[in-house]
Copies of this chain bind each other. A is one copy, B any other.
Amino acid sequence: MNIGEAARASGVSAKMIRYYESVGLIPAVGRTEAGYRQYSPTDLNTLRFIGRAREFGLSMQRIKLLVSLWQDRNRASRDVKRIALEHVADLRRRIAELTAMADTLRDLADACQGDHRPECPILEDLEESADAASRGRVAS
């Protein structure tokens, strides 16, 4: 199976398949005499696994670990679970950051008339808090 067919069958672009190979996420597959990469059904499963893991937002680093565990029949589920929970913790941290941003900005926008007049609490906050924020940084 050529890379294009593997891409269509796995949902991973040919570009990314080559990239995953280059960074060692997947082993280099066999080639035809002309140099075309050849993919087996087993290779397809790996690609689909990776594509699915990407949908969970897992980093290449963690996916690399997961793939090796996935292929190791003697793995301990403990190790898999740890990786998953680390990622969940990362996601929750990121969600908390974004939520704080959204809430504050939403509050400011609520206080903004949003009409033809120039007065706007959003700009005032960005301007005024800047002093406090920079003092905070200097002090820390």
Contact surface of A with B, Cβ cutoff 8 Å: 8-11, 45, 48-49, 51-53, 55-57, 66, 69-70, 72-78, 80-82, 84-85, 87-88, 91-92, 94-95, 97-99, 101-102, 104-106, 108-109, 112-120, 122-123, 125-127, 129-131, 133-134, 137-138
Does B94 contact A55, Cβ atoms closer than 8 Å?
A: no
Does A45 contact B134, Cβ atoms closer than 8 Å?
A: no
In the docked arrangement, what's the CA distance between A75 and B120, Å? 10
Main secondary structure of the interface of A (DSSP, over half): helix
Q: Which B residues touch A45, using CB under 8 A?
A: 127, 130
In the docked arrangement, what's the CA distance between A87 and B106, Å? 9
- Work out how many copies of this chain go into the complex: 2
Question: Chain B residue with minimal CB distance to A94?
Answer: B98
Does A57 contact B101, Cβ atoms closer than 8 Å?
A: yes
In the docked arrangement, what's the CA distance between A105 and B109, Å? 34
Q: Contacts A66-B126, A76-B117 given; 4 further ones with Cβ under 8 A? A: A74-B118, A81-B112, A81-B114, A91-B99
In the docked arrangement, what's the CA distance between A92 and B87, Å? 20
